[in-house]
Structure 1
């Protein structure tokens, strides 16, 4: 229940589908790929230097957009510092609180290894596999102890289906075809092995089926896991904590929704929209490299878009929204002269190596703005 560095404005593409191991990633489904003939609102991917994107680029030491005065682009509503909401719109339901508790218990589940029944769709299985194309083993096609949820669509189409019905201890062949656009691999001697569009045979050993065992929610369990870190010792205290957390999240979301709906934007500075576009493309570019794809093939496989330009067109509304949110945070800070406290800055100190100091300061500034607007909001 500790803070993590997650802010909507900074995580535009965090919801992308993560693929499986390099040797047997999911294939593209061209029938589901979105198509777009219109030019993307934000241009083409080739217009951006997304390969060299860094999180702190374009931000100054105060967490502001470098060279940008937000109030030149956005006019805040007159009542932005004292927004009013109905409690019924903010208060979380019992079902929502219970859902969070269930998720918490799932995170603390232990693993039970099952070996006395056949694998079924939805099971998480532990497998070893070794793949070959035309009888030649290739780099990235062998793995031991991989945890795979059957039916998740993580691996190449047909791979997971062929595991269903087998029993732990069995070794069997799975035959699949690599998607078009899949990067070449190499054999043990460094020779090129073409995978794109090729049939591959994987020798698979099903080690065991993994079942989750949830802990029993008791006062003792709560005290053991959260008594020291969060000063929560009973089930009722845990539910009250989650109720408060959800309430605060709902209120923060309501505030931002209100500001987005009632602020006036003259235009969006290119510095901010370019940042959002580069971050989005860099996310997919990094994932594509990790799984052995080129960018266009990856966004088709992972996200159902025809190519990177189509991705930008499909996400143009999100890019615009997040750019507006970025301006709103800074506009409020400029108007109310808000700066993050040292404590807020220190919250993200461990992330500076990955994201840079300026980015972490921006997230701390967003915390400070959020806290100010939340404290001044009226809920009745």
Structure 2
């Protein structure tokens, strides 16, 4: 239930990317699907200093874009302070509320180890494995305590199928053939080990089968988990809390959608679009650095793009939309003379070291603008 609602300007790059173990991962092949081979309207990634991007770049102490008057670029609709909305479009349904509760229960599952039966399709198994090609162990082909969902298709074709039917404690061989184009590995001495089209033998130990247990939604469970942190004591309270949260989220979204659809924009300031591009590229660059890749190689392996330029081309429309949204918040703040309260700024004080004070002030300003717009909205 604890939540931090952040209005980061460039949401398009938010998300988690994970790389599976290189030794067995189906995705380690060198080929990749390109989103586009054309040049983005925002040029090439090489045009930007995204490696040195900082979130407070180009923002002043008021959370405004430095040197930019947003109302010079945005003409707001006349009814921006009292936006007309239909209540039926905002009210969350019972299904929406239940979906949130189901997600909450899923986040609080516990894991039980099953040891008295054979592995079946769909099970999550914990395994150790050591892989060899022509009798030589290779980098990335060994793991201990690895959780693998059988039938997920995470590993090379045939690997998961050969685990099905084995009992906990069994030690057995899994034989697979690496696909054509699979990247080379190395042995313990650093010598190249060719994997493409090679037969590999993995010695696998099945440690246990994991089974997730969903908690039972009861007043006692709600009281135990959320009474002290959120003031929620019963299942009825929990549903009411989600109803309120979803309504507010839907209202915030509807207000911004209305402004985007009914405002008029001149050419966007380059400083704002450059910010969006740099933030997006820096996100993936940081992930690439974490996994030891250069940016293009990471995008090929993890995101399905041939290069950072392809990424920019695919996201150009989103970059434009988020730049417009960023200007809209400031334009409304200018038009209504809105500034965040100290309490709103303090909400993000824990993040100033990571994102900078000016960025956190901008997010607080967005909160203040959202509060003014949703309060003034005419919901009927």
Q: Corresponding residue for 2:169?
A: 169
Matches within 5 A, 1:16-35: 17-27=17-27, 33-35=33-35
Residue aligned with 1:9, SS: coil
Q: Corresponding residue for 2:257?
A: 257
Q: Corresponding residue for 1:333?
A: 333
Residue aligned with 2:255, SS: helix
- Cα separation, partners in 2 of 1:34 and 1:162, compared to 1, 3 Å: farther
- Distance of 2:91 and 2:59 partners within structure 1: 36
Matches within 5 A, 1:95-110: 95-110=95-110
Structure 1 unaligned spans of 5+:
none
- Cα separation, partners in 2 of 1:47 and 1:229, compared to 1, 3 Å: same
TM-score, scaled to structure 2:
0.88
Residue aligned with 1:315, SS: helix
What's the CA shift for 1:371? 1.4
Cα pair 1:74 1:331 within 8 Å, conserved: yes
Residue aligned with 2:46, SS: helix
What's the CA shift for 1:260? 0.6
Instruction: Report the aligned-residue RMSD.
Output: 2.8
Q: Corresponding residue for 2:236?
A: 236
- Distance of 1:57 and 1:174 partners within structure 2: 53
- Distance of 1:174 and 1:286 partners within structure 2: 36
Q: Corresponding residue for 1:322?
A: 322
- Cα separation, partners in 2 of 1:27 and 1:294, compared to 1, 3 Å: farther
- Cα separation, partners in 2 of 1:289 and 1:170, compared to 1, 3 Å: farther
- Cα separation, partners in 2 of 1:278 and 1:28, compared to 1, 3 Å: farther
Cα pair 1:16 1:302 within 8 Å, conserved: no
Residue 115 of structure 1 pairs with residue 115 of structure 2: yes
* 1:255-305 CA-partner distances (Å, limit 9, x unpaired): 111011011110111112112112222222232333344433332332222
Q: Corresponding residue for 1:366?
A: 366
- Cα separation, partners in 2 of 1:118 and 1:278, compared to 1, 3 Å: farther
- Distance of 2:359 and 2:194 partners within structure 1: 39
Larger radius of gyration: 2
- Cα separation, partners in 2 of 1:53 and 1:269, compared to 1, 3 Å: same
Cα pair 2:73 2:268 within 8 Å, conserved: yes
Q: Corresponding residue for 1:51?
A: 51
